[in-house]
Amino acid sequence: MNHPHNDIRIQVVTDYVNDQSEPEADRYVFAYTITISNDGSAAAKLLSRHWIITDANGKVQEVSGDGVVGEQPHLKPGEEFRYSSGAVLETPVGAMQGLYRMESDDGVSFDAPIAPFTLAVPGLLH
């Protein structure tokens, strides 16, 4: 019995958006680009997302919604979907993690976890 969630690979690249950030106003804007790859043998559709965003003060934002960037991408085996989005923190360092709710074409729903990743203003972490 294989577990389809092991076949959805998620890669994240983050970037600090300097020109939208206002450190003196405790506003730090980050962009992230996510690539979702279907490494399995069954096609699957991304139904919804659930994010947990934590800043350095311990403040937690939870974000849920249908699809990503207004789409519910359908990934055949070997296909990938890439999109960019953003997050605004009150601190220069934070973390995000979450999951995508997926449904394979045979009707099985499963969660594809998004491992925690760090958001940080460059030069702060050494």
Residue 99 lies in a domain: yes
Q: How far apart are CA 41 and CA 6, in angstroms?
A: 11
Residue 74 clears pLDDT 70, i.e. is over it: yes
Residue 84 lies in a domain: yes
pLDDT in tens, 77-122: 999 999 999 999 999 999 999 999 999 998 999 999 999 999 999 9
User: CB of 91 within 8 A of CB of 55?
Assistant: yes
- Domain residues for the domain of 41 are 4-120
Q: Report how many domains make up the chain.
A: 1
Q: How far apart are CA 20 and CA 75, in angstroms?
A: 33
Residue 125 lies in a domain: no
Residue 126 lies in a domain: no
Residue 16 lies in a domain: yes
pTM of the model: 0.90
pLDDT in tens, 26-73: 999 999 999 999 999 999 999 999 999 999 999 999 999 999 999 999
Instruction: Considering only residues 60 and 6, tell me which one the structure prediction assigns the higher pLDDT.
Output: 60
Task: Kindly report the CATH number assigned to the domain that includes residue 14.
Answer: 2.60.40.1470
